[in-house]
């Protein structure tokens, strides 16, 4: 097993758009100070960064959504980049409500559902508990079927299983 150095840590960080701020490297199990491109700082072992492919714990806010997008892209290609279509613009939301993973050309969008979709959390609802209901109504009016990936479900299992076994892939081909 090769012995790593502080220069190795700094090189790995640069490839991820960040930096290793530590001035001393003991071994791959000792915590080092890291900073990401968004200026978040945290301590992590070199081993975790390299062998477990971890990176900034603060930037992984949309980790579940990104994983779902990655899985679906494998089967369907990339989703639309326009996450705020005109039909989701309302007087209350002139910029438009947002869809997580839209596939307009297939007539559906995936919404990655966190705990805020089970109960009212003011931050996510922007003071209006009906935002999600309005989004559903507007999508239905515009022939976009909403599919859901819930926070308690295993994305690797549901992405292929649910869509395949509900003839979803037949629907889009």
Task: Count other Cβ atoms within 10 Å, centred on residue 49.
Answer: 20
Q: pTM of the full predicted structure?
A: 0.58
Dihedral pair phi/psi, residue 41, rounded to 5° = -115, 140
126-159: buried (b, 16+ CB within 10 Å) or exposed (e) per residue? Answer: eeeeebbeebeebbeeeebebbebeeeeebeebb
pLDDT in tens, the chain (173 residues): 568 999 999 999 998 899 999 999 999 889 999 999 888 888 899 988 888 778 887 776 677 887 888 888 888 899 998 888 999 998 888 878 889 999 999 999 999 887 766 666 555 555 566 777 889 999 999 999 999 888 787 776 655 545 544 455 544 44
Domains in the chain: boundaries = 6-57, 61-172
Cα–Cα distance for residue pair 142/138, rounded to 1 Å: 6
Token reading at 23: 């001035």
Q: Whose structure tokens read 């926070």? A: 151
């Amino acid at each position: 097993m090769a012995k790593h150095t502080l220069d190795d840590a700094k090189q790995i960080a640069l490839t991820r758009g960040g930096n290793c701020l530590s001035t001393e490297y003991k071994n791959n199990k000792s915590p080092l100070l890291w900073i990401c491109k968004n200026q978040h700082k945290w301590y992590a072992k070199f081993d975790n960064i390299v062998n477990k492919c971890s990176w900034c714990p603060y930037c992984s806010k949309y980790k579940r959504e990104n994983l779902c997008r990655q899985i679906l892209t494998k089967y369907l290609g990339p989703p639309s980049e326009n996450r705020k279509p005109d039909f989701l613009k309302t007087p209350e939301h002139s910029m438009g409500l947002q869809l997580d993973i839209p596939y307009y050309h297939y007539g559906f969008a995936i919404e990655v559902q966190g705990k805020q979709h089970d109960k009212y959390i003011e931050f996510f609802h922007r003071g209006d508990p009906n935002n999600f209901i309005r989004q559903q109504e507007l999508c239905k009016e515009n022939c976009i079927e909403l599919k859901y990936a819930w926070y308690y479900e295993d994305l690797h299992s549901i992405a292929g299983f649910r869509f395949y076994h509900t003839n979803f892939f037949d629907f889009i081909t």
